[in-house]
């Protein structure tokens, strides 16, 4: 797995490698707002995980997931703050993503 200095460097490289969908955490799935695609925990795998800490504030931390779904034939990214999830996120979704915190 590659190592990156910055979040933007990682995002740009993942896009070049085909991770073109941008996902957000919803209650029981991840959703790509641009095209309305929703993938549930059993429908995707986590290919890579990259953590980043802000240069001036250690509390400014993000995690980048590179995801793929053979069922949907797509690859995309999810950027989230460490441990920050919607209060309504399902236990199954939190469990899948939370393994990497």
Split the chain (101 residues) into runs of 10 and give each run's mean pLDDT. 89 97 90 92 93 68 91 92 54 72 49
- How far is residue 41's CA from residue 27's CA, in Å, rounded to a whole number? 11
Residue 26: which domain range? Answer: 7-98
Does a structural domain hold residue 77?
yes
Q: pTM here?
A: 0.82
Does a structural domain hold residue 2?
no
Does a structural domain hold residue 76?
yes
Kindly list the distances between the CA atom of residue 36 and the CA atoms of 33, 39, 66, in Å, as whole numbers in the listed order: 5, 10, 18
Among the residues of 1-101, which ranges form H helices? 7-16, 91-98
pLDDT of residue 95: 77
Number of structural domains, the chain?
A: 1
For residue 22, give both structure tokens: 């941008």
Does a structural domain hold residue 1?
no
- How far is residue 101's CA from residue 93's CA, in Å, rounded to a whole number? 13
Does a structural domain hold residue 38?
yes
CA proximity to 24, closest of 43, 37, 15, 11: 37
């Amino acid at each position: 797995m590659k190592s990156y200095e910055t979040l933007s460097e990682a995002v740009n490289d993942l896009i070049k490698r085909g991770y073109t969908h941008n996902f957000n955490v919803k209650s029981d799935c991840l959703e790509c707002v641009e095209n309305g695609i929703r993938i549930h925990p059993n429908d995707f795998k986590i290919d890579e995980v990259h953590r980043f800490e802000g240069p001036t504030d250690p509390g400014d931390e993000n995690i980048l997931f590179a995801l793929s779904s053979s069922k949907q034939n797509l690859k995309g990214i999810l950027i989230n703050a460490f441990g920050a999830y919607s209060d309504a996120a399902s236990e199954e979704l939190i469990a899948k993503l939370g393994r990497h915190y």
